[in-house]
Amino acid sequence: MKPSISSLTPELVVEQRGPVLWLIITREERRNAMSHAVLAGMTQAISSAQAERDIRAIVITGAGTKAFCAGADLQSAQAFTTDYSEPHGHLAQLLRVARASYVPLIARVNGACMAGGMGLMSMCDMAVAARHAVFGLPEVKVGVFPAQVLSVLQHLIPRRTLSEMCLTGEPITAAQALEVGLVNYVDDDVDFRLQWLLERLLDKSPAAIRRGLYTLKKVEAMAFEESMSFTESQIALFTLTEDAREGQKAFQEKRKPNWAGR
């Protein structure tokens, strides 16, 4: 394990383990609630990772086994913002950076995933969860609403499920989260399932994944004809990469490809 990107705060461990960058919230005593320092540190780490070609995936998790992230720290006097004159808050900036990431983000949900923690999980491209994990949007219980979280959550789960979670504030189990498509996998051994998923990702073309994530995120908001025009040009660019040439050659020669990542 070699650290590659420094952490701004002791509340967030930023550590590179081979080709995977780990972002670990280390606030167990606060159920890994988000501080502004944690959000700023994650934003910087994900942004910096875009230029590091040896980073192939980013894992986001919380320390311990009780909580992935309990959301905003309600014990803080400024739980939701530090400066009302700023148009962009820390969570909003993190969600923007995650949306623009071409390095795959994977949430390792090791426990309770609540409120703003649902935003961290939903901004990721994939998620694996421990069987004891629970998921919830309890903001209505303290007089607010999961407004920013909706930006990354609304397209992941059915509308009626989303409405019930937002309006009642009641949590769902990991099994229910899997059923509605909120997570990819649920396992008693979350680290085994995470490693299994990472191995299926890391042996694929880095260039295809990087440009593919760009394409996937761009077409989501496009109308059909606009997306067809965009992807017609994108597929041509895919074929011009070194990885595309190597992949086709390896297929013809019946061997494993040696990816250049370009």
Distance CA 213, CA 13 (A): 26
Closest CA to 172 of 124, 137, 222, 213: 137
Which residues fall within 8 angstroms of residue 151, CB to CB, at 6 or more apart?
95
Q: Cβ of 217: how many Cβ atoms within 10 Å? A: 14
Instruction: Please give the residue that has the higher pLDDT: either 187 or 81.
Output: 187
Residue 76: pLDDT band (50, 70, 90) is low
User: What's the confidence (pLDDT) of residue 3?
Assistant: 44
Q: What is the mean pLDDT of residues 234-243?
A: 91
22: which strand partners? 15, 59
- Percent of the chain exceeding pLDDT 70 equals 91
Homologous superfamily assigned to 12-202: 2-enoyl-CoA Hydratase; Chain A, domain 1 (3.90.226.10)
Q: Where are the domains of the chain?
A: 12-202, 206-252
User: What's the confidence (pLDDT) of residue 72?
Assistant: 85
Q: What is the DSSP letter of 140?
A: G
Residue 90: pLDDT band (50, 70, 90) is confident
User: What's the confidence (pLDDT) of residue 85?
Assistant: 57
Handedness of CA 204, 195, 15, 148 (dihedral sign): positive
Per-residue pLDDT tens digits for 170-194: 999 999 999 999 999 999 999 999 9
Which residues fall within 8 angstroms of residue 93, CB to CB, at 6 or more apart?
39, 43
Distance CA 184, CA 186 (A): 7
Closest CA to 58 of 198, 185, 178, 196: 198
